[in-house]
Amino acid sequence: MPRPTARVLTLLELLQSGGTRTVAELADRLGVEGRTVRRYVDQLIDLDVPVESVRGRYGGYRLGPGYRLPPLMLSDDEALAVLLGLIAGRRAGMTTTERTASETASAKIRRVLPRHIAGRLDTLLDALAFTDQPGDVDTPDAGVLLTLADAVRHRRPVSIRYADRDGRRSERTLHAYGIVAHAGRWYVTGEDAGLGEDRTFRLDRIADARVLPGSFEPPVDDDPAQRVLSGFATAEYRHAVTLRIHGTAEQIRARLPASVATLEECVPASGEDREATRWLRVELRAERLDWLPPVLASLDRPFVIERPDELRALLAAFADRLTSYAAAEPAAERPLP
């Protein structure tokens, strides 16, 4: 059973989470009676912690405004969860340019972990593997990230200085709808007020962000993540590909996600059975086409290439290679070493 001192610290943690806590709620969380909660509150007040009593039906206790919180206290499992989050964030590129902040935070938590918890963490890290290798992904400036988040929350225009993929710099006014993390990068999506069109910008290419006076209304039922994925699928690349695939959206999305392709239902001709002609038109943009033949083969669904002719040639060559592999004589058996 926890000692009284431990319960007093737990009470402080509960009050630190914000809002007013009723005596009944606190008693239930601490596993004590109401009068014991009041005694613990008195002990916090004796330590100069400004606990306020709130009267009324929904009354209870809360911390006084402006109180500077003492050093953060985490349970063993909470500390382990924070460390894993920091590690996964670094591997996925979901950090800011202040990389040392993540590293020093990890080091501080590890220094105060009990030995058995630190051992569990080391065991986990030894057993942990990531499917993608960490790359040299550019990360955004923390100030830019927080400024854009404030603009999104309060629906305020924001001025940004942006450099495109060719290094051309420009200053834009953005009505930011949301911030999206995708494939190890940060993006902000919204309306470019100067163009009157929706745009998506990489945060690591934004040199400066400044909130402007005024406000705006975002689109109804806006989904920033879907906007970013759709933007990838419709971006201007060298090749425009159009396919018709017989199958469900789920079957197609398993190989061609929303960040790669857009789907549109084909309207059946007059008199055709809608279920018997369940074809979807698939459109995508790509700089190269050589990756598409194996993807289409892995779909294992009937498909028709509408354009470009170059893809038909690549698919035929891919099919010939598979046929030659299947017809090849097996190599002579060799004894195992």
pLDDT confidence of residue 2: 56
SS percent in the chain: helix, strand, coil, step 5: 40, 20, 35
CA angle (13, 18, 23) in 5-degree steps: 70
CA 189 – CA 187 distance, rounded (Å): 7
pLDDT confidence of residue 305: 93
Tokens read off for 172: 């834009």
| 180-237 residue pLDDT tens | 877 667 888 888 888 888 888 888 889 889 999 999 988 877 778 777 777 666 666 7
Q: Are 187 and 201 in contact (CB under 8 A)?
A: yes
Q: How many CB atoms lie within 10 A of CB 41?
A: 22
Residue 280 is inside which H or E element, if any? strand 279-286
Q: Which residues contact 203 (CB under 8 A, 6 or more apart)?
A: 140, 141, 144, 145, 148, 179, 185, 186, 187, 188
| 69-106 residue pLDDT tens | 555 666 777 777 777 777 767 666 666 655 556 677 77
pLDDT confidence of residue 66: 62
pTM for the model: 0.48
pLDDT confidence of residue 296: 92
Residues of the chain with pLDDT under 70: 1-3, 58, 66-74, 88, 90-102, 112, 125-139, 183-184, 231-236, 268-277, 330-337
Q: Are 10 and 29 in contact (CB under 8 A)?
A: yes
Residue 220 is inside which H or E element, if any? none
First to last CA, the chain: 61
pLDDT confidence of residue 273: 56
pLDDT confidence of residue 1: 42
DSSP 12-54: HHHHHT-S-B-HHHHHHHHTS-HHHHHHHHHHHHHTT--EEEE
For 167: left if phi > 0, alpha if psi spans -120 to 50, otherwise beta; the answer is left
